[in-house]
Structure 1
Amino acid sequence: MSVADRIDELAGRALRTRWFVRAPIKLYRVRLGFLLGHRMLMLEHTGRTSGLPRQVVLEVVERPAPDTYVIVSGFGERAQWYRNILADPAVHVSVGARRHVPARATPMSAEESAAALARYATARPQTWKRLKGSIEAAVGAPVDTLPMVTLQLDPGRK
């Protein structure tokens, strides 16, 4: 096994470890989310079964406009946050110094997702190479396409 394969395997294991992937949420809760800059955001959504508030920190894939963010579901359509926003697209976003901003989550078409992923891979080839390997190690399958979501912030809505 090569060093790169070993790194992917370890990163994939980390992505499957609940405490590890939830750790950045604590930064947002204590108002330090700005330390993660604009490449990460915290998505607050509603549990589709429980109705309880849920949070997840995700990487921003693209920012096509000042109040628009594109995020990706690395675990595909089975990710709990993704399934929750399909049931209720009214969400809140914390990113940079902005906290708990109302937003609307809109799943992108397969074609839009593929195009956005291709742009990401072109803009950040090394990051994509590592991320792709880590995701594939975590899900145990090749990643050809991943579902993506557009978040449109609406700072005027409460």
Structure 2
Amino acid sequence: MEAGGRAVTAFGRSRTRPPTGWRRIVVRLPIALYRIGLGPVFGKRMLLLQHTGRVSGQTREVCLEVVAHDPLRGSWTVASGFGTAAQWYRNLRHIPKVTIQVGRTFHPVNAHFLSAEEGAELMAAYAGRHPRAARALCRYLGLDDPKDGTDPFRAAGLRIPFVRLDEVPPRRWG
């Protein structure tokens, strides 16, 4: 998807652009809540990703919904609803070592980009846990009507890029 433009999905419907104006303010409101210490309000459902701009070199922040979390492995999986054109996604491609904040806890992580098939499995599992949210996301992105009769969530997962954020193990001194 071009920045500021519209893209046509594989299902033939146009996908919305990233929000601007007052909608952008509403979408970025969770970042402000994290900054004033209210990150725990989101529980483990959202995280704040702090990454480095690939051009500016400045620290950037984006609040993302957690699609999957593995506490034993220390990993969080997020999706780029605006595809590979999302600025945070492009920045992670350039510099995959980032920091996330979940609640009040900061975690250094490395970004790993998942295959389309892994994305399909994740989206199908997410739809099982959060069916209304999954339907709304697919509808918003124009990914809710595959013509070939396949599961719409698996089909959406094949097209949405997913990123697994693996916690960097702490150094052992001794």
Partner secondary structure for residue 104 of structure 1? strand
Structure 2: which 5+ residue stretches go unaligned? 1-15, 144-151
Aligned position for 1:111 = 117
How many residues of Structure 1 are paired with residues of Structure 2 in the alignment? Answer: 141
Distance 1:102 1:49 in 2: 22
Runs of 4+ in 1 over 6 A off after TM superposition: none
How far residue 23 of structure 1 moved from its aligned partner, in angstroms, is 1.0
Aligned position for 2:164 = 150
- Residues 67-86 of structure 1 aligned to structure 2 (within 5 Å): 67-86=74-93
Distance 1:146 1:97 in 2: 28
Structure showing greater radius of gyration is: 2
- Residues 24-103 of structure 1 aligned to structure 2 (within 5 Å): 24-66=30-72, 67-99=74-106, 101-103=107-109
Alignment pair present for 1:132 and 2:138: yes
Q: What TM-score does the superposition give when structure 2 sets the normalisation length?
A: 0.73
Q: What TM-score does the superposition give when structure 1 sets the normalisation length?
A: 0.80
How far residue 120 of structure 1 moved from its aligned partner, in angstroms, is 0.8
Q: Please state which structure has a larger fraction of its residues in helix.
A: 1
Question: Residue type of the partner of 1:136?
Answer: G
How far residue 111 of structure 1 moved from its aligned partner, in angstroms, is 1.1
Aligned position for 2:6 = none
Higher relative contact order (CA 8 A, sep 6+): 1
1:26 to 1:51, Cα distance in 2 relative to 1, 3 A: same
Distance 1:134 1:15 in 2: 12
1:99-130 Cα offsets, whole Å, 9 max, x none, are 3x211111111111111111111222122111
RMSD: 2.2
